[in-house]
Amino acid sequence: MNGNSDSELLSHPYISVLIPVFNEEPNLEELYKRLKQALDLYGKSYELLFIDDGSTDNSYEVLRWLHSSDSKVRAIKFARNFGQQMAIAAGLKYSRGDVVVLIDADLQTMPEEIPKLVDKLLEGYDIVYGIRQRRKDPLLRRIGSWCMSHLLYRITNIEIPDSASGFLALNRTFVDSINLFNEKSKYFSGLFAWLSYGRWGSVPVTHAPRRAGVSKYSIPKLIGLTLNFVCNFTTLPLRFAFYTGGVLATIGGGAFAAILALRLLGILGRLPAVETLGALIILCTGLQIFFIGIVGEYLGRVYVEVKERPPYVVKEVLDAQVSGSHDYAGN
């Protein structure tokens, strides 16, 4: 450590640890103790930045209490549940450290392994992933994750090393670049992987079952997250409508033209009703899907622009320097 004063170290700590929190009351005290112990031992200055993503239990009261006894604890409270991605977005904007570490609040990954990640980052990486050695999640969840990550890699061509570990370290320059991305619906694992362009480091990390409570990801939330990933990084589904429509219209149009030609050449005595109707239906359906594909390309873009919702709304900030109410909307 250098000879900086406490307030200097607080306003510019070396490490910012970001912790998204959604109804994690039973885990917070233990998490704080382990983070503090590990980071005090590591000897670099740090801040613990908790983002309460609209918890309905007493998580925020615990954070308020931790903040009152330790100014290294900062907390942001969202006005409602905006989702883990938005909590990370807020954390990245509010963080002040040269190194930013992301860790979940449920102690599935070990605070004691933060120094390992940071040391690896100091070898010159923008991003270092904690790769879970033996993932301790329910079997169905692991199978689903495995299938999805392979499928998504095929669709988006973005390879995310252990996307759901939620345990990684980033350097300040990388965080500043990520903060320039103004898209409202964010999928950070994708953004990180996309921006780091394959130049990432990794360290093996231990994974444990959630310490208390249940996963905050329901199936609809997981589907939402997956759609976020796909829609943010590829227009392939829209192109799918485009191509399907194009192929159907060509088949229908071709069949209709062939029937017409056979009739005109006198090979068919009359237009066969069922075949002609079938060809026309396929042609029309194809054209409709094709034009929906075109409209969809524009509509998707217009929709995102027109909504202009703030991606998150902060209700309150617990911070040694800035305190009180803020109406900061993350634009």
By CB under 5 A, name the binding residues for Mg ion: 104, 106, 108
Q: Return the structure tokens found at 137.
A: 């999640």
Tell which residue, 130, 146, 95, 141, has the closest CA to residue 207. 130
Residue 81 in the binding site for ligand UDP (CB under 6 A): yes
- Residue of this chain nearest to ligand UDP (CB atom): 215
Which residue stretch of 4-12, 92-100, 102-110, 228-236 sits at the interface with ligand UDP (rule: CB under 6 A)?
A: 102-110
Residue 74 in the binding site for ligand UDP (CB under 6 A): no
Instruction: Let me know if 1 is exposed, middle or buried by CB neighbors in 10 A (0-12, 13-18, 19+).
Output: exposed
CB-nearer residue toward ligand UDP: 83 or 245: 83
Least distance in angstroms from the C-beta of 72 to ligand UDP: 19
Least distance in angstroms from the C-beta of 89 to Mg ion: 19
Q: In sequence order, what are the residues at sequence separation of 6 or more whose Cβ sits closer than 8 angstroms to the Cβ of residue 258? A: none
Least distance in angstroms from the C-beta of 166 to Mg ion: 7
Angle between helices 25-42 and 114-121 in degrees, nearest 10: 50
Q: Which of 25, 74, 83, 107 binds ligand UDP (CB under 6 A)?
A: 83
Residue 177 in the binding site for ligand UDP (CB under 6 A): no
Residue 170 in the binding site for ligand UDP (CB under 6 A): no
Residue 49 in the binding site for ligand UDP (CB under 6 A): no
Q: Return the structure tokens found at 172.
A: 């300040």
Tell which residue, 24, 90, 10, 109, has the closest CA to residue 62. 24
**Site map (CB under 6 A) of ligand UDP, residues 5-44, x = contact:** ---------------xxx-x--------------------
Residue 106 in the binding site for ligand UDP (CB under 6 A): yes
Residue 179 in the binding site for ligand UDP (CB under 6 A): no
Q: Which residue has the tokens 């399907």?
A: 244
Using the Cα atoms of residue 264, residue 265, residue 270 and residue 271 in order, give the sign of their dihedral.
negative
Q: Which of 15, 105, 158, 283 binds ligand UDP (CB under 6 A)?
A: 105
Give exposure, 169-197, as e/b (b: 16+ Cβ within 10 Å). bbbeebbeebeeeeebbbbbbbbbbbbbe
Residue 296 in the binding site for ligand UDP (CB under 6 A): no
CB-nearer residue toward ligand UDP: 153 or 217: 217
- Contact between 171 and 99 under an 8 Å Cβ cutoff? The reply is yes
Q: In sequence order, what are the residues at sequence separation of 6 or more whose Cβ sits closer than 8 angstroms to the Cβ of residue 14? A: 44, 45, 46, 97, 98, 99
Least distance in angstroms from the C-beta of 233 to Mg ion: 24
Which residue stretch of 90-98, 178-186, 212-220, 322-330 sits at the interface with ligand UDP (rule: CB under 6 A)?
A: 212-220
Distance in angstroms (rounded) separating the CA atoms of residues 319 and 330: 17
**Site map (CB under 6 A) of ligand UDP, residues 150-169, x = contact:** --------------x-x---
CB-nearer residue toward Mg ion: 55 or 108: 108
Residue 21 binding target from Mg ion, ligand UDP, none, CB below 5 to 8 Å by type: ligand UDP
- Measuring CA to CA, how many Å separate 279 from each of 254, 255, 267, 287, 315? 8, 6, 18, 12, 59
**Quick count: other Cβ atoms within 10 Å of Cβ 233?**
18
CB-nearer residue toward ligand UDP: 27 or 171: 27
- Contact between 202 and 129 under an 8 Å Cβ cutoff? The reply is yes
Report the interface residues with ligand UDP, using CB under 6 A.
20-22, 24, 53, 81, 83-84, 87, 104-106, 108, 164, 166, 210, 215-217
